[in-house]
């Protein structure tokens, strides 16, 4: 299947809509407790657009953000239906994580890494899918390698 641009997506109720005008750069699974609680699932699949290729096309007024007191990135959600939509990380401000379940069609990319596997849900084992696994954030260097 050929991916057609712009990619579009939105929340469950349709209040928030967005588009991505270029191929996605990467996708990943996150197994952290914040993602587990935010989604109600064992992991969150997210895709990252190229800088400047993502925009909200409608419903900006319906979006709300939550920022954990412990630090970390903002979590964006629809205030009408509660759909988890996007995430951002202050250490990588150019990057946004779009929740893959919000795309209207196949986004043409598959997750290529699993991060925060040290916090994986014990009730759903991580599949043996061959993806690289990182105990914490994939961007952090292992201090044992310094």
- Closest C-alpha among 50, 59, 43 to residue 131: 43
Q: Where in the chain does DSSP place strands (E)?
A: 7-10, 17-20, 26-30, 44-48, 54-58, 63-66, 75-78, 84-88, 96-99, 114-115, 133-134
Q: Is the pLDDT assigned to residue 14 strictly greater than 70?
A: yes
CA distance 84 to 98: 9
Supply the pTM of this predicted model. Answer: 0.86
Give the pLDDT score at 69: 81
Give the pLDDT score at 1: 60
Per-residue tokens: 21: 């005008």
Per-residue tokens: 19: 């588009």
Q: State pLDDT tens for residues 113-140.
A: 999 999 999 999 999 999 999 988 765 5
DSSP 49: P
Give the pLDDT score at 25: 94
Q: State pLDDT tens for residues 55-107.
A: 999 999 999 998 888 766 788 999 999 999 998 876 666 679 999 999 999 99
Largest CA distance in the chain: 48
Give the distance from CA 6 to its chain's centroid.
18
Residue 38 φ/ψ region, left for φ over 0, alpha for ψ in the -120 to 50 degree band, beta for the rest: alpha
């Amino acid at each position: 299947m050929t991916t057609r641009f712009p990619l579009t997506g939105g929340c469950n109720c349709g209040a928030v809509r967005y588009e991505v005008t270029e191929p996605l750069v990467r996708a990943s699974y996150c197994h952290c407790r914040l993602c587990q609680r935010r989604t109600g699932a064992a992991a969150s699949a997210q895709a990252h657009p190229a800088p400047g290729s993502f925009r909200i096309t409608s419903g900006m007024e319906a979006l709300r953000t939550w920022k954990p007191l412990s630090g970390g990135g903002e979590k964006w959600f629809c205030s009408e239906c509660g759909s988890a939509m996007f995430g951002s990380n202050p250490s990588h401000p150019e990057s946004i994580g779009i929740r893959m379940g919000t795309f209207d069609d196949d986004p043409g990319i598959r997750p290529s890494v699993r991060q925060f596997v040290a916090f994986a849900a014990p009730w759903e084992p991580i599949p043996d899918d061959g993806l690289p696994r990182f105990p914490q954030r994939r961007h952090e260097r292992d201090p044992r390698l310094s």
